[in-house]
Amino acid sequence: MKDAIVIGAGALGTFHAYHLAKKGKKVVVFEKDHQPREATVRNFGQVVPSGFPIGRWHEYGKYSTALYKEIQSKTDIGIRNNGSLYVASDISEMAVLEEMHERFKTDDYDSIIYSKADVLSYSSQFKSDYVHGGLYFPQEVSAEPRKMILAIQKYLTESYEVEFVYNTTVINVEATGNGTEITIAGGNKFKAEKAFVCNGRDFNVLFPELFRSANIEVSKLQMIATKPVDFALKGNILTGLSIRRYESFKSCDKYAQLIHRKEYESLENYGIHLLFKQRIDGSIIIGDSHVYADENNGFDTGFDEDALINELILNEAKNILDIPTLEIDQFWSGFYSQMKGDGEIYEKEIDNCIYIVTAIGGKGMTASAGYANEKINSLYL
Protein backbone atom coordinates (compact mmCIF):
# COMPACT_ATOMS: atom_id res chain seq x y z
CA MET A 1 0.00 0.00 0.00
CA LYS A 2 1.28 3.45 -0.93
CA ASP A 3 1.36 6.33 1.52
CA ALA A 4 -0.53 8.54 -0.89
CA ILE A 5 -2.33 8.48 -4.23
CA VAL A 6 -2.66 11.67 -6.24
CA ILE A 7 -5.28 11.92 -8.98
CA GLY A 8 -4.32 14.40 -11.69
CA ALA A 9 -0.80 15.21 -12.89
CA GLY A 10 -1.23 18.92 -13.51
CA ALA A 11 0.58 21.54 -11.44
CA LEU A 12 -1.55 21.03 -8.31
CA GLY A 13 -1.26 17.25 -8.42
CA THR A 14 2.43 17.24 -9.27
CA PHE A 15 3.34 19.63 -6.47
CA HIS A 16 1.27 17.68 -3.96
CA ALA A 17 3.34 14.65 -5.03
CA TYR A 18 6.55 16.69 -4.73
CA HIS A 19 5.85 17.79 -1.17
CA LEU A 20 4.64 14.36 -0.13
CA ALA A 21 7.89 12.93 -1.46
CA LYS A 22 9.88 15.53 0.47
CA LYS A 23 8.19 14.16 3.60
CA GLY A 24 9.51 10.71 2.70
CA LYS A 25 6.18 9.38 1.45
CA LYS A 26 5.73 6.80 -1.29
CA VAL A 27 3.42 8.29 -3.91
CA VAL A 28 1.66 7.20 -7.08
CA VAL A 29 0.08 9.78 -9.40
CA PHE A 30 -2.66 8.72 -11.82
CA GLU A 31 -3.24 10.85 -14.93
CA LYS A 32 -6.10 10.17 -17.35
CA ASP A 33 -4.21 11.45 -20.42
CA HIS A 34 -0.90 10.30 -21.87
CA GLN A 35 0.58 13.44 -20.30
CA PRO A 36 -0.92 16.58 -18.72
CA ARG A 37 -3.09 18.24 -21.39
CA GLU A 38 -5.08 20.94 -19.62
CA ALA A 39 -4.40 24.33 -18.00
CA THR A 40 -0.93 23.41 -16.75
CA VAL A 41 0.42 23.15 -20.30
CA ARG A 42 -1.87 25.63 -22.08
CA ASN A 43 -0.95 28.79 -20.18
CA PHE A 44 1.55 31.59 -20.71
CA GLY A 45 4.16 30.34 -18.30
CA GLN A 46 4.25 33.62 -16.42
CA VAL A 47 5.07 33.18 -12.72
CA VAL A 48 3.89 36.51 -11.30
CA PRO A 49 3.39 36.79 -7.52
CA SER A 50 3.09 40.52 -8.21
CA GLY A 51 -0.43 39.80 -9.48
CA PHE A 52 -1.54 38.92 -5.93
CA PRO A 53 -1.96 41.48 -3.13
CA ILE A 54 0.19 41.02 -0.05
CA GLY A 55 -1.15 38.03 1.85
CA ARG A 56 -1.82 34.32 1.42
CA TRP A 57 -1.57 33.91 -2.36
CA HIS A 58 1.32 36.33 -2.71
CA GLU A 59 3.25 34.20 -0.19
CA TYR A 60 2.40 31.05 -2.15
CA GLY A 61 3.71 32.76 -5.27
CA LYS A 62 6.97 33.75 -3.61
CA TYR A 63 7.49 30.22 -2.35
CA SER A 64 6.72 28.77 -5.79
CA THR A 65 9.16 31.14 -7.49
CA ALA A 66 11.95 30.15 -5.11
CA LEU A 67 11.17 26.45 -5.61
CA TYR A 68 11.21 26.77 -9.40
CA LYS A 69 14.65 28.35 -9.16
CA GLU A 70 15.86 25.64 -6.78
CA ILE A 71 14.74 22.81 -9.05
CA GLN A 72 16.15 24.60 -12.11
CA SER A 73 19.55 24.68 -10.35
CA LYS A 74 19.40 20.86 -10.20
CA THR A 75 17.87 20.01 -13.58
CA ASP A 76 16.67 21.99 -16.59
CA ILE A 77 12.93 22.58 -16.33
CA GLY A 78 12.93 25.65 -18.60
CA ILE A 79 12.76 28.34 -15.90
CA ARG A 80 14.23 31.73 -16.84
CA ASN A 81 14.72 34.57 -14.34
CA ASN A 82 14.04 37.54 -16.63
CA GLY A 83 11.55 39.38 -14.42
CA SER A 84 8.11 40.84 -15.08
CA LEU A 85 7.33 44.27 -16.52
CA TYR A 86 3.92 45.95 -16.18
CA VAL A 87 3.49 48.74 -18.72
CA ALA A 88 1.12 51.61 -17.87
CA SER A 89 -0.67 53.27 -20.79
CA ASP A 90 -1.87 56.38 -18.96
CA ILE A 91 -1.23 58.50 -15.87
CA SER A 92 -3.91 56.75 -13.78
CA GLU A 93 -2.47 53.28 -14.41
CA MET A 94 0.95 54.63 -13.53
CA ALA A 95 -0.41 55.99 -10.24
CA VAL A 96 -1.64 52.48 -9.38
CA LEU A 97 1.78 51.02 -10.18
CA GLU A 98 3.48 53.63 -7.98
CA GLU A 99 1.16 52.79 -5.07
CA MET A 100 1.75 49.05 -5.57
CA HIS A 101 5.49 49.68 -5.57
CA GLU A 102 5.21 51.33 -2.14
CA ARG A 103 2.99 48.56 -0.80
CA PHE A 104 5.39 45.83 -1.89
CA LYS A 105 8.23 47.69 -0.16
CA THR A 106 6.55 46.90 3.17
CA ASP A 107 6.72 43.20 2.26
CA ASP A 108 10.36 43.34 1.09
CA TYR A 109 9.20 42.37 -2.39
CA ASP A 110 11.54 44.09 -4.83
CA SER A 111 10.16 46.26 -7.61
CA ILE A 112 11.57 49.10 -9.68
CA ILE A 113 9.63 52.07 -11.05
CA TYR A 114 10.34 52.56 -14.76
CA SER A 115 9.95 55.87 -16.52
CA LYS A 116 8.64 56.01 -20.07
CA ALA A 117 12.24 56.17 -21.28
CA ASP A 118 13.14 53.12 -19.18
CA VAL A 119 10.32 51.06 -20.73
CA LEU A 120 11.28 52.13 -24.26
CA SER A 121 14.88 51.17 -23.49
CA TYR A 122 13.76 47.78 -22.16
CA SER A 123 12.50 46.92 -25.64
CA SER A 124 12.52 49.02 -28.81
CA GLN A 125 9.33 47.18 -29.84
CA PHE A 126 7.11 49.18 -27.48
CA LYS A 127 5.16 51.95 -29.17
CA SER A 128 5.98 55.31 -27.65
CA ASP A 129 2.39 56.59 -27.79
CA TYR A 130 1.21 53.63 -25.67
CA VAL A 131 3.83 53.79 -22.92
CA HIS A 132 3.49 56.07 -19.90
CA GLY A 133 5.81 54.16 -17.54
CA GLY A 134 6.13 50.81 -15.86
CA LEU A 135 6.88 48.66 -12.83
CA TYR A 136 9.51 45.92 -13.02
CA PHE A 137 9.86 42.87 -10.73
CA PRO A 138 13.40 41.49 -11.22
CA GLN A 139 12.92 38.29 -9.18
CA GLU A 140 10.00 36.86 -11.17
CA VAL A 141 10.43 34.03 -13.65
CA SER A 142 9.10 32.67 -16.91
CA ALA A 143 8.37 29.00 -17.56
CA GLU A 144 7.94 26.84 -20.63
CA PRO A 145 4.75 25.06 -19.49
CA ARG A 146 4.80 22.22 -22.01
CA LYS A 147 8.35 21.38 -20.97
CA MET A 148 8.28 22.25 -17.28
CA ILE A 149 5.67 19.87 -15.88
CA LEU A 150 7.14 16.83 -17.66
CA ALA A 151 10.66 17.79 -16.57
CA ILE A 152 9.55 18.09 -12.94
CA GLN A 153 7.80 14.72 -13.12
CA LYS A 154 10.95 13.13 -14.53
CA TYR A 155 12.98 14.73 -11.73
CA LEU A 156 10.56 13.37 -9.12
CA THR A 157 10.66 9.81 -10.44
CA GLU A 158 14.47 9.88 -10.54
CA SER A 159 14.97 11.50 -7.13
CA TYR A 160 12.12 10.22 -4.92
CA GLU A 161 9.69 7.35 -4.53
CA VAL A 162 7.12 8.85 -6.88
CA GLU A 163 5.49 6.94 -9.74
CA PHE A 164 3.43 8.56 -12.51
CA VAL A 165 0.87 6.32 -14.21
CA TYR A 166 -0.50 7.92 -17.39
CA ASN A 167 -3.45 6.97 -19.63
CA THR A 168 -5.29 5.83 -16.52
CA THR A 169 -8.68 7.18 -15.46
CA VAL A 170 -9.67 6.89 -11.81
CA ILE A 171 -13.41 6.19 -11.67
CA ASN A 172 -13.96 5.88 -7.91
CA VAL A 173 -12.36 7.03 -4.66
CA GLU A 174 -13.65 5.93 -1.28
CA ALA A 175 -12.63 5.69 2.35
CA THR A 176 -12.12 2.19 3.72
CA GLY A 177 -11.81 2.81 7.44
CA ASN A 178 -8.03 2.48 7.46
CA GLY A 179 -7.25 4.63 4.43
CA THR A 180 -8.56 4.95 0.89
CA GLU A 181 -9.18 2.72 -2.08
CA ILE A 182 -9.31 3.92 -5.66
CA THR A 183 -10.66 2.11 -8.68
CA ILE A 184 -9.37 2.72 -12.20
CA ALA A 185 -11.17 2.11 -15.49
CA GLY A 186 -10.95 -1.62 -16.11
CA GLY A 187 -11.62 -2.43 -12.45
CA ASN A 188 -8.19 -2.61 -10.83
CA LYS A 189 -8.04 -1.21 -7.29
CA PHE A 190 -5.25 0.47 -5.33
CA LYS A 191 -4.99 1.37 -1.67
CA ALA A 192 -3.24 4.19 0.15
CA GLU A 193 -3.35 5.99 3.47
CA LYS A 194 -4.51 9.21 1.79
CA ALA A 195 -5.80 10.30 -1.62
CA PHE A 196 -5.53 13.77 -3.16
CA VAL A 197 -8.00 14.59 -5.94
CA CYS A 198 -6.57 17.37 -8.13
CA ASN A 199 -8.95 16.99 -11.06
CA GLY A 200 -8.82 20.41 -12.73
CA ARG A 201 -12.07 20.95 -14.67
CA ASP A 202 -13.07 17.27 -14.95
CA PHE A 203 -16.28 17.20 -12.90
CA ASN A 204 -18.18 14.29 -14.46
CA VAL A 205 -16.37 11.26 -13.08
CA LEU A 206 -15.40 11.73 -9.42
CA PHE A 207 -17.80 13.34 -6.93
CA PRO A 208 -20.07 14.92 -9.57
CA GLU A 209 -22.77 15.84 -7.04
CA LEU A 210 -20.28 17.78 -4.94
CA PHE A 211 -19.08 19.81 -7.88
CA ARG A 212 -22.55 20.60 -9.18
CA SER A 213 -23.28 22.43 -5.92
CA ALA A 214 -19.82 23.88 -5.36
CA ASN A 215 -20.18 27.40 -6.86
CA ILE A 216 -17.53 26.61 -9.46
CA GLU A 217 -17.24 28.00 -12.97
CA VAL A 218 -14.95 27.22 -15.89
CA SER A 219 -13.05 29.90 -17.79
CA LYS A 220 -12.11 29.50 -21.44
CA LEU A 221 -9.07 31.46 -22.60
CA GLN A 222 -7.90 32.08 -26.16
CA MET A 223 -4.19 32.41 -26.84
CA ILE A 224 -2.05 33.03 -29.88
CA ALA A 225 1.59 32.27 -30.71
CA THR A 226 3.67 33.89 -33.41
CA LYS A 227 6.36 32.32 -35.49
CA PRO A 228 9.86 33.06 -34.11
CA VAL A 229 10.69 36.76 -34.43
CA ASP A 230 13.99 38.54 -34.95
CA PHE A 231 13.80 40.69 -31.81
CA ALA A 232 14.03 39.98 -28.08
CA LEU A 233 11.15 40.59 -25.69
CA LYS A 234 12.47 39.07 -22.50
CA GLY A 235 10.53 38.29 -19.37
CA ASN A 236 6.82 38.52 -18.63
CA ILE A 237 5.18 41.55 -20.25
CA LEU A 238 1.90 42.73 -18.79
CA THR A 239 -0.02 45.83 -19.86
CA GLY A 240 -2.56 48.44 -18.84
CA LEU A 241 -5.42 45.99 -19.13
CA SER A 242 -3.55 43.64 -16.75
CA ILE A 243 -3.22 46.47 -14.24
CA ARG A 244 -7.00 46.91 -14.47
CA ARG A 245 -7.63 43.17 -14.00
CA TYR A 246 -5.19 41.78 -11.43
CA GLU A 247 -6.11 41.52 -7.76
CA SER A 248 -2.96 43.18 -6.45
CA PHE A 249 -3.76 46.42 -8.23
CA LYS A 250 -7.44 46.29 -7.30
CA SER A 251 -6.27 46.43 -3.67
CA CYS A 252 -4.76 49.88 -4.25
CA ASP A 253 -6.58 53.08 -3.26
CA LYS A 254 -5.67 54.62 -6.63
CA TYR A 255 -7.47 51.81 -8.47
CA ALA A 256 -10.81 53.59 -8.00
CA GLN A 257 -9.38 56.60 -9.85
CA LEU A 258 -8.47 54.75 -13.05
CA ILE A 259 -9.47 56.72 -16.13
CA HIS A 260 -12.31 55.09 -18.05
CA ARG A 261 -11.08 54.10 -21.49
CA LYS A 262 -13.91 53.67 -24.00
CA GLU A 263 -11.58 51.79 -26.36
CA TYR A 264 -11.14 49.12 -23.67
CA GLU A 265 -14.86 48.31 -23.42
CA SER A 266 -15.02 45.71 -26.21
CA LEU A 267 -11.86 44.04 -24.86
CA GLU A 268 -13.10 43.91 -21.28
CA ASN A 269 -16.43 42.44 -22.43
CA TYR A 270 -14.47 39.30 -23.35
CA GLY A 271 -12.17 39.45 -20.32
CA ILE A 272 -9.22 40.35 -22.54
CA HIS A 273 -6.03 41.69 -21.03
CA LEU A 274 -2.86 41.80 -23.08
CA LEU A 275 0.09 39.65 -22.05
CA PHE A 276 3.25 38.80 -23.98
CA LYS A 277 5.91 36.19 -23.34
CA GLN A 278 8.69 35.15 -25.67
CA ARG A 279 9.35 31.42 -25.70
CA ILE A 280 12.81 29.88 -25.88
CA ASP A 281 12.44 29.33 -29.64
CA GLY A 282 11.86 33.06 -30.22
CA SER A 283 8.10 32.86 -30.76
CA ILE A 284 5.82 35.11 -28.73
CA ILE A 285 2.65 34.09 -26.91
CA ILE A 286 -0.06 36.77 -27.01
CA GLY A 287 -3.39 36.79 -25.19
CA ASP A 288 -5.67 36.24 -23.48
CA SER A 289 -9.46 36.28 -23.04
CA HIS A 290 -11.91 34.91 -20.45
CA VAL A 291 -15.38 33.51 -21.15
CA TYR A 292 -17.22 31.68 -18.35
CA ALA A 293 -19.63 28.78 -17.88
CA ASP A 294 -21.00 27.13 -14.73
CA GLU A 295 -22.87 24.00 -13.65
CA ASN A 296 -26.12 25.25 -15.21
CA ASN A 297 -24.76 24.44 -18.67
CA GLY A 298 -22.52 21.57 -17.68
CA PHE A 299 -19.44 23.79 -17.29
CA ASP A 300 -19.36 23.92 -21.11
CA THR A 301 -17.79 27.04 -22.62
CA GLY A 302 -17.73 25.54 -26.11
CA PHE A 303 -14.75 24.36 -28.09
CA ASP A 304 -14.81 26.76 -31.05
CA GLU A 305 -12.26 29.53 -31.36
CA ASP A 306 -13.99 32.91 -31.58
CA ALA A 307 -12.44 34.80 -34.52
CA LEU A 308 -13.58 38.16 -33.13
CA ILE A 309 -11.73 37.56 -29.85
CA ASN A 310 -8.53 36.68 -31.69
CA GLU A 311 -8.93 39.78 -33.85
CA LEU A 312 -9.42 42.01 -30.78
CA ILE A 313 -6.34 40.52 -29.10
CA LEU A 314 -4.13 41.02 -32.16
CA ASN A 315 -5.37 44.55 -32.83
CA GLU A 316 -4.60 45.60 -29.26
CA ALA A 317 -1.22 43.84 -29.44
CA LYS A 318 -0.36 46.03 -32.42
CA ASN A 319 -1.35 49.13 -30.44
CA ILE A 320 1.29 48.20 -27.86
CA LEU A 321 4.13 46.68 -29.86
CA ASP A 322 5.62 47.65 -33.19
CA ILE A 323 5.00 44.33 -34.94
CA PRO A 324 3.75 45.15 -38.47
CA THR A 325 4.96 41.89 -40.04
CA LEU A 326 3.72 39.58 -37.29
CA GLU A 327 3.23 35.99 -38.54
CA ILE A 328 0.85 33.80 -36.54
CA ASP A 329 1.75 30.14 -36.05
CA GLN A 330 -0.76 28.82 -33.48
CA PHE A 331 -4.18 29.49 -31.98
CA TRP A 332 -5.45 27.49 -28.99
CA SER A 333 -7.83 27.55 -26.04
CA GLY A 334 -7.09 26.86 -22.42
CA PHE A 335 -9.64 25.98 -19.75
CA TYR A 336 -9.44 26.25 -15.99
CA SER A 337 -11.93 25.96 -13.16
CA GLN A 338 -12.30 28.63 -10.52
CA MET A 339 -14.58 29.63 -7.68
CA LYS A 340 -17.20 32.27 -8.39
CA GLY A 341 -17.13 35.58 -6.57
CA ASP A 342 -14.59 35.85 -3.77
CA GLY A 343 -13.87 32.11 -3.51
CA GLU A 344 -10.16 31.31 -3.78
CA ILE A 345 -9.99 27.53 -4.29
CA TYR A 346 -12.24 24.49 -3.83
CA GLU A 347 -11.21 22.30 -0.89
CA LYS A 348 -13.12 19.33 0.53
CA GLU A 349 -11.95 16.77 3.08
CA ILE A 350 -13.70 13.38 3.34
CA ASP A 351 -13.16 11.05 6.32
CA ASN A 352 -9.70 12.44 7.10
CA CYS A 353 -8.19 10.58 4.18
CA ILE A 354 -9.56 12.04 0.91
CA TYR A 355 -8.64 15.62 0.00
CA ILE A 356 -10.24 17.28 -3.01
CA VAL A 357 -8.41 20.34 -4.30
CA THR A 358 -9.37 22.12 -7.52
CA ALA A 359 -10.69 25.39 -8.97
CA ILE A 360 -7.48 27.29 -8.29
CA GLY A 361 -8.32 29.48 -11.30
CA GLY A 362 -5.56 31.37 -13.09
CA LYS A 363 -3.30 31.09 -10.05
CA GLY A 364 -2.03 27.59 -10.81
CA MET A 365 1.32 28.25 -12.46
CA THR A 366 2.27 30.86 -9.87
CA ALA A 367 0.79 29.48 -6.67
CA SER A 368 0.27 25.69 -6.86
CA ALA A 369 3.64 24.80 -5.35
CA GLY A 370 3.16 27.16 -2.42
CA TYR A 371 -0.38 25.98 -1.78
CA ALA A 372 0.64 22.30 -1.92
CA ASN A 373 3.54 22.92 0.46
CA GLU A 374 1.21 24.40 3.07
CA LYS A 375 -1.40 21.65 2.55
CA ILE A 376 1.05 18.78 3.00
CA ASN A 377 2.72 20.46 5.98
CA SER A 378 -0.68 20.79 7.66
CA LEU A 379 -1.33 17.04 7.27
CA TYR A 380 2.16 15.75 8.10
CA LEU A 381 3.50 17.81 10.99
Q: Which CATH architecture has domain 84-138+216-340?
A: 2-Layer Sandwich (3.30)
Superfamily of domain 1-81+142-214+343-381: FAD/NAD(P)-binding domain (3.50.50.60)
What is the mean pLDDT of the segment spanning 264-273? 96
Alpha carbon distance 65, 69 (integer Å): 6
pTM here is: 0.96
Quick check: 296 pLDDT over 90? Answer: no
Backbone φ, ψ for residue 237 (5° rounding): -110, 120
Q: Where are the domains of the chain?
A: 1-81+142-214+343-381, 84-138+216-340
pLDDT value for 203: 96
Report pLDDT digits (tens) over 361-378: 999 999 999 999 999 999
Q: Enter the DSSP assignment of 330.
A: E
Burial class (CB in 10 A: 0-12, 13-18, 19+), 193: middle
Q: Which residues contact 265 (CB under 8 A, 6 or more apart)?
A: none
Quick check: 381 pLDDT over 80? Answer: no
Alpha carbon distance 86, 81 (integer Å): 16
Quick check: 325 pLDDT over 90? Answer: no
Which of 83, 1, 3, 74 shows the shortest CA–CA distance to 376?
A: 3
Please give the mean pLDDT across all residues of the chain: 96
pLDDT value for 324: 79
Burial class (CB in 10 A: 0-12, 13-18, 19+), 307: exposed
Which of 370, 344, 372, 368 shows the shortest CA–CA distance to 62?
A: 370
Label residue 297 by pLDDT band (50, 70, 90): confident
Quick check: 1 pLDDT over 90? Answer: no
What is the mean pLDDT of the segment spanning 149-157? 98
What is the mean pLDDT of the segment spanning 233-242? 97
pLDDT value for 278: 97
pLDDT value for 292: 95
